[in-house]
């Protein structure tokens, strides 16, 4: 989603991405402006417009970088333990980075309004996490810990569906207890008979 133009300076790019995510987390996405990002990053507004099509594109790239760096692929020897560690690590991002949930909610809202942004959001933020969780299920299948016919997409949906529902509605919290519950439910749904 980046606009065409001169090659990016890595230092400027990082400063802009960090500033955009920091401002979105602390002041709210709706209050975020390109002017504000430029001022916070010490960059020119035209530089941002040259490299990104919108403020949503800037925040999306910042989220993408963070998503890749925060994906944990635990190997605890069982699907249940791997899932619990994966979800615990995923949910801990909210505690480590206050305001990130509201940024994700805003990005999901943006994705509902803009079909092109939805494609980018799915590819850059959603799919890497889904692929990470699917790899834990694949590993359990290789250990013959789960049914051969276990529906991997459905198992992944169970985890992320609950997470997104809670995050979007702010009805109930996400944390270690939910991580353990999801691990139990998903592992049970995938389990071999009699195991």
The answer to whether residues 48 and 106 belong to one domain is no
Determine the pLDDT at residue 163.
94
Determine the pLDDT at residue 69.
67
Instruction: Look up residue 147 and give its two tokens.
Output: 């049914």
The answer to whether residues 149 and 87 belong to one domain is yes
The answer to whether residues 23 and 79 belong to one domain is no
Instruction: Look up residue 159 and give its two tokens.
Output: 């985890």
Domain that holds residue 116: 71-190
> Is 18 domain-assigned?
yes
Number of domains present in the structure of the chain = 2
Confidence band for 7, pLDDT divided at 50, 70 and 90: low
> Is 34 domain-assigned?
yes
> For the domain that residue 163 is a member of, what is the CATH number?
1.10.357.10
pLDDT at 61 over 70: yes
> Is 75 domain-assigned?
yes
The answer to whether residues 29 and 85 belong to one domain is no
> Is 21 domain-assigned?
yes
The answer to whether residues 114 and 158 belong to one domain is yes
The tens digit of pLDDT for each residue in 66-124 reads 766 677 889 999 999 999 999 999 999 888 888 999 999 999 999 999 999 999 999 99
pLDDT at 195 over 80: no
The tens digit of pLDDT for each residue in 129-175 reads 999 999 999 999 999 999 999 999 999 999 999 999 999 998 778 89
């Amino acid at each position: 989603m980046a606009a065409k133009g001169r090659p990016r300076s890595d230092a400027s790019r990082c400063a802009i991405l960090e500033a955009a995510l920091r401002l979105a987390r602390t002041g709210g996405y709706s209050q975020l402006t390109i002017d504000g990002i430029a001022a916070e990053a010490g960059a020119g507004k035209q530089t941002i417009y040259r490299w990104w099509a919108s403020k949503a594109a800037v925040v999306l790239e910042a989220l993408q970088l963070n998503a890749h760096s925060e994906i944990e692929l635990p190997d605890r020897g069982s699907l249940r333990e791997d899932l619990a560690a994966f979800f615990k690590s995923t949910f801990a991002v909210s505690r480590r980075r206050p305001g990130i949930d509201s940024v994700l909610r805003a990005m999901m809202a943006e994705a509902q309004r803009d079909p092109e942004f939805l494609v980018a959001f799915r590819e850059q933020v959603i799919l890497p996490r889904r692929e990470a969780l699917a790899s834990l299920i694949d590993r359990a299948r290789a250990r013959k810990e789960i049914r051969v016919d276990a529906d991997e997409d459905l198992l992944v949906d169970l985890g992320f569906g609950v997470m997104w529902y809670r995050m979007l509605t702010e009805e109930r919290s996400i944390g270690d207890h939910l991580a353990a519950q999801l691990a139990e439910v998903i592992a049970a749904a995938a389990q071999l008979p009699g195991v």
